[in-house]
Structure 1
């Protein structure tokens, strides 16, 4: 019995297998114990490829070879496969973390720093801007903007924007506040939401009519959120590093805040 395409695609994505590996594993799971020829017939995988696929599955821990003649194979049960994959991912992640933790002490890293610093002064003299796409990248840029702040951090946002990033913002706020950064926050939303978020973040927010969301660090760089109200679209933001532009934006925002009757 050949597995349904929908099941094949989902299992393939869940377990990181290719199409042939997925079909063969599903065939083994449904058959129990089978020869390479039987698996080829059940899975629809060409017989000439079945042996290579079975060997690959065996190495990855999805299948095992039964001792004896003729050679037959059986599937490793899904729960055991998941446990093995979880351990493998954790081991790989820990190894990667160790590598990254030690990289700063290498000669290669020092060369990277020299390459960057040789152009940093030139970059500082230019106005820069870029578009950031994807939730992970946007969150990363928010972190960079907040952590890079030395004196004044200004945040204007909707309460929905802050709510969905609250787990990201809480430790960042604590970190920069402990280093002496002054945080000014203005929010658009209900009084209840504004109070709740102010209490969680430890920063008293002012209420504003502005429905845009942006983060300004030291009047030097700003990160604008785009399409923030659409849950079905890819998250996007625009980052500017332009002291003149950002300082002008900050001045206009301060003026709007002073003239806003809501408190």
Structure 2
């Protein structure tokens, strides 16, 4: 990927150009939300339309893409088991770090990844005060109203942040949900400055979350979440320090 979040030109040093280009197509389609026209993909990948057509036809023939009735392409079902296996491995490698966070704070510690315009929880360690909330493994949540979601928006390149916000519905889940794009951009700028994101009951009333992005090629975030009655400012401060250390640890483990 380039610095602005676009797929890079295929054919890096020592690589196979056609493979680079095929991966660029998959990354561009994922960044577009999973569905796009050939012309949009050609522009995103900076490839001639005939070349893009051949790549798409090959990927569709293997089940990694699927052509829709309106002639646009979407991600194919052959990617599902690959993604599931990758997420399971991520979760397995992250659990020791999440376990330490949960033990320190007494609350749930979570790992989430950016998946087709949403945040998907792929691992969790429950604390001594575990409660059933929306952070269960496998759940996908909106980016604009969750701690991990806003941390993900702040961790990707600015151009990708703009595209993700433009494509989002910004639905109000609670009275504190940010639904104005300008206000959300301002919130993301603040998160980039201070280094962590907060969810102040924006996804679920009475739940508070603090999250930090994880550096690396795959957008990921780690968080601690629990009831607002227990997630005091003091605990949030403790969690921020621990999350920053956990982010560096996870970046090394998951790279």
Calculate the TM-score normalised by the size of structure 2.
0.34
Calculate the TM-score normalised by the size of structure 1.
0.33
Structure holding more helix per residue:
1
Give 1 or 2 for the bigger CA radius of gyration.
Answer: 1
